[in-house]
């Protein structure tokens, strides 16, 4: 059991009548929820081999960081997020990596994706978890204050980083990485947090039993989400066909402290009308605000999260556990024991169907999701992923194949039932004719593919399939246009680059030519200066030679006179020196004679 909630944040939820708005269209459906919502959550057996796809979210697939032969522990990261819109993937059991290869995944496309295969060892040994807040029993008498202090001391960045590291994504079906969504909402200053607990699709009850049996996890997760985005208020929208879940959430909050009058979290029961659980429809019912065409809830200051996402946030922050399992509804008349089962991600769907008592003799269809928005599985050997909220196994009489489509009778029932106020009939005509420009004039991308139009069509026209086809074709054309634009831009850039290179080459040649001309002119100037200017117009060359000869003769005469003068001086100096030497010698001789005597 987790700790009580802080008094300042968890004031009694308003249990009074609230004004609700409505959305256009919608249909009443048989819920078939009683098949699976009366049993407690069971636990799936450990599969002998886990097949864990590296793409279980919107955005870039995670990059594998393990290799074949590696031993892994439960909760160990297998692949890092590879971009701003991505999420890491973790091992949902301990064992040995035996392969990293393509494998069929549960997806409408029926395509394969890169998966990590783990042969489990049966020990279920966990990595060391690092929670930000401990959910163990506290010795403090005032446990409410302890929890409040713990949440208050955490920053939004700390919480969001923990959510990102845990690989939490939107478990309501969108699979958008929760950390990226929260980061955007914080920057855009969303003022309202809406928790989607409607679960309007028939047969699906995984959120219902989660709220009944683990309301503390949901509420504490909501408080963490509210802390991250800084929302002033929070609304929990739940359909009125879930009284037990509603009461469980109400008791979880109101049982702590009723002393504050400024309730910040409110549980609101909404009418059971499909698709009330659509994000835009729930926002409109609870707040009266309409999300703009092709816009996002954050454009009007609102952010939505699913109750299962809130519980996953609780596990990440309070227990330090990554998202490695989820609750899956296993139901349908071909299942002997319909139930909700907590399943490790990567478990083959065949294993959990056998555990729930699959009657293969009755099987007509195996659908992942509900009958309205789900899709037929290509194989039951595909693994459970973060997107797997329900496995519906029906008999032929339960979900019979519709008869062949007939011509449209223009009854307008499709338009009356559309929750987005679109014109499905017109969209159908243009989609069928592949007039992709015209079909966009009718806001086809506002279609949420809820299936209401197909359900009410008396001509059994699969309208949603036409709309999906048109969207795919438009996206393909857009990609082709983008490729063509890129190729054109590349070609234009190449032409511009070559033209610039040509101009640069021509400019370099011009500069070289100018430089050569200047050099020739300079050489000519210097040669002219060496020759000198002519004083005679008749024979300037001869006059110049005569002058040079006369100058040379004058220089020779001056030099000869200088040499004669120097020689005469030298001769005079030699006679005087010799006379002096003779006098010295004579004195020495006389002195020697006197000494002998």
CATH number, domain of 319, equals 3.40.50.11540
CATH number, domain of 455, equals 1.10.1060
Q: For residues 377 and 474, state if they share a domain.
A: no
Distance (Å) of CA 69 to CA 98, 100, 438, 576: 6, 10, 55, 119
Choice among 40-44, 249-253, 576-580 with the minimum mean pLDDT:
576-580
DSSP type of residue 306: E
Query: Are the CB atoms for 463 and 424 separated by under 8 Å?
Result: yes
Q: For residues 359 and 501, state if they share a domain.
A: no
Residue 437 lies in a domain: yes
H helix or E strand, kind and range, residue 236? strand 233-239
Q: For residues 369 and 417, state if they share a domain.
A: no
> Any idea how long the chain is?
597
pLDDT for 562: 77
Domain enclosing residue 105, as ranges:
33-394
For residues 278-288, average pLDDT: 95
Query: Are the CB atoms for 417 and 25 separated by under 8 Å?
Result: yes
pLDDT for 276: 94
In this prediction, residue 262 has a pLDDT band, given cuts at 50, 70 and 90, of very low
Tens-digit pLDDT profile for residues 103-132:
999 988 888 999 999 999 999 999 999 999
Residue 342 sits at φ, ψ, to 5 deg, of -85, 120
Q: For residues 353 and 421, state if they share a domain.
A: no
For residues 129-142, average pLDDT: 64
Q: For residues 318 and 356, state if they share a domain.
A: yes
For residues 517-522, average pLDDT: 86
Structural domain total, the chain:
2
Residue 7 scores a pLDDT above 80: no
**Which stretches of 261-364 are DSSP H helices?**
279-287, 307-314, 349-355
Separation between Cα atoms, residue 70 and residue 414, nearest integer Å: 54
Q: For residues 140 and 201, state if they share a domain.
A: yes
pLDDT for 15: 39
Tens-digit pLDDT profile for residues 299-321:
999 999 999 999 999 999 999 99
Q: For residues 309 and 244, state if they share a domain.
A: yes
Residue 36 scores a pLDDT above 90: yes
pLDDT for 1: 40
Q: For residues 414 and 365, state if they share a domain.
A: no
H helix or E strand, kind and range, residue 340? strand 339-344
pLDDT for 403: 87
Residue ending a domain, choose from 526, 542, 557? 526
pLDDT for 137: 42
pTM of the full structure: 0.79
Residue 309 lies in a domain: yes
pLDDT for 597: 55
For residues 183-187, average pLDDT: 82
Residue 122 lies in a domain: yes
Residue 212 sits at φ, ψ, to 5 deg, of -70, -45
Residues 6+ apart with CB under 8 A from 534: 540, 541, 543, 544
Q: For residues 372 and 415, state if they share a domain.
A: no
Give counts: helices (H), strands (E), the chain. 15, 17
Q: For residues 207 and 333, state if they share a domain.
A: yes
Burial class of residue 296, CB neighbours in 10 A (0-12, 13-18, 19+): middle
In this prediction, residue 580 has a pLDDT band, given cuts at 50, 70 and 90, of confident
DSSP type of residue 383: B
Q: For residues 370 and 432, state if they share a domain.
A: no
Average pLDDT, the chain: 86
Choice among 144-158, 206-220, 569-583 with the minimum mean pLDDT:
569-583
Residue ending a domain, choose from 394, 419, 454? 394
pLDDT for 136: 53
Residue 257 scores a pLDDT above 50: no
Residue 7 lies in a domain: no
Residue 45, helix vs strand vs coil: coil
pLDDT for 135: 64
pLDDT for 8: 38
Tens-digit pLDDT profile for residues 444-495:
999 999 999 999 999 999 999 999 999 999 998 888 888 899 999 999 999 9
Residue ending a domain, choose from 526, 545, 579? 526
String of b and e for 84-118 (b: at least 16 CB within 10 Å)?
eebbbbbbbbbbebeebeebbbbbeeeeebbbbbb
Q: For residues 409 and 306, state if they share a domain.
A: no
Separation between Cα atoms, residue 356 and residue 130, nearest integer Å: 34
Residue 538 lies in a domain: no
568 vs 233, which has greater pLDDT?
233
Residue 109 lies in a domain: yes
Of the candidates 413, 419, 416, the residue with the CA atom closest to the CA atom of residue 448: 419
Residue 597 lies in a domain: no
Residue 356 lies in a domain: yes
């Amino acid at each position: 059991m987790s700790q009580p909630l802080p008094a300042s944040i968890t004031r009694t939820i308003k249990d009074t009548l609230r004004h609700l708005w409505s959305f256009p269209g919608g249909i009443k459906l048989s819920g078939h929820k009683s098949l699976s919502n009366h049993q407690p959550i069971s636990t799936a057996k450990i599969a002998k081999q886990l097949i864990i796809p590296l793409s279980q979210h919107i955005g870039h697939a995670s990059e594998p960081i393990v290799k074949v032969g590696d031993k892994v522990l439960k909760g160990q990261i297998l692949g890092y997020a590879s971009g701003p819109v991505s999420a890491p993937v973790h091992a949902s059991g301990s064992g040995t990596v035996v392969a990293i290869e393509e494998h069929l995944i549960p997806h409408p496309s029926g395509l394969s994706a890169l998966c990590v295969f783990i042969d489990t060892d049966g020990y279920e040994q966990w990595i060391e978890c690092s929670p930000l807040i401990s959910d163990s029993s506290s010795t403090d008498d005032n446990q409410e204050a302890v929890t409040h202090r713990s949440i208050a001391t955490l920053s939004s960045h700390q919480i969001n980083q923990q959510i990102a590291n845990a690989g939490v994504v939107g478990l309501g079906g969108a699979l958008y990485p929760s950390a990226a969504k929260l980061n955007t909402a914080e920057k855009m200053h969303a003022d309202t947090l809406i928790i989607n607990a409607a679960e309007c699709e028939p047969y699906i009850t995984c959120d219902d039993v989660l709220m009944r049996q683990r309301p503390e996890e949901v509420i504490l997760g909501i408080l963490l989400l509210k802390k991250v985005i800084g929302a002033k208020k929070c609304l929990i929208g739940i359909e009125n066909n879930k009284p037990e879940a509603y009461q469980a959430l109400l008791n979880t909050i109101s049982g702590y402290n009723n002393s504050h009058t400024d309730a910040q979290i409110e549980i609101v029961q909404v009418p059971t009308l499909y698709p009330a659980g659509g994000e835009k429809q729930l926002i409109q019912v609870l707040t009266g605000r309409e999300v703009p065409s092709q816009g996002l809830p954050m454009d009007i200051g609102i952010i939505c999260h699913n109750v299962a996402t809130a519980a996953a946030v609780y596990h990440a922050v309070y227990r330090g556990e990554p998202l490695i399992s989820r609750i899956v509804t296993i139901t349908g008349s071909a299942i002997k024991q319909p139930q909700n089962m907590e399943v490790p991600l990567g478990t083959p769907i065949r294993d959990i169907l056998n555990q729930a008592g699959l009657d293969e003799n009755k099987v007509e269809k195996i659908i992942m999701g509900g009958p309205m928005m789900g899709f037929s599985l290509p194989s039951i050997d595909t693994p459970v992923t973060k997107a797997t909220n329900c496995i519906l196994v029906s008999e032929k009489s339960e979900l019979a194949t519709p008869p062949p489509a007939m011509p449209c009778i223009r009854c307008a029932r499709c338009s009356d039932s559309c929750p987005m106020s679109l014109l499905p009939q017109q969209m159908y005509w243009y989609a069928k004719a592949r007039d992709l420009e015209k079909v966009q004039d009718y806001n086809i991308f506002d279609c949420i593919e809820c299936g209401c139009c197909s359900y009410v069509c008396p001509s059994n026209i699969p309208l949603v399939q036409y709309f999906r086809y048109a969207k795919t074709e438009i996206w393909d054309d857009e990609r082709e246009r983008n490729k063509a634009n890129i190729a054109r831009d590349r070609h234009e850039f190449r032409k511009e680059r070559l033209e610039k290179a040509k101009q640069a080459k021509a400019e370099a040649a011009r500069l070289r030519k100018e430089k050569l001309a200047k050099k020739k002119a300079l050489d000519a100037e210097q040669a002219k200066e060496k020759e000198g200017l002519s004083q005679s117009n008749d024979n300037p060359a001869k006059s110049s030679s005569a002058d040079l000869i006369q100058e040379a003769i004058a220089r020779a005469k001056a030099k000869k006179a200088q040499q004669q003068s120097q020689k005469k001086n030298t001769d005079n100096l030699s006679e005087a020196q010799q006379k002096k030497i003779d006098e010295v010698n004579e004195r020495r001789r006389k002195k020697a004679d006197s000494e002998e005597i």
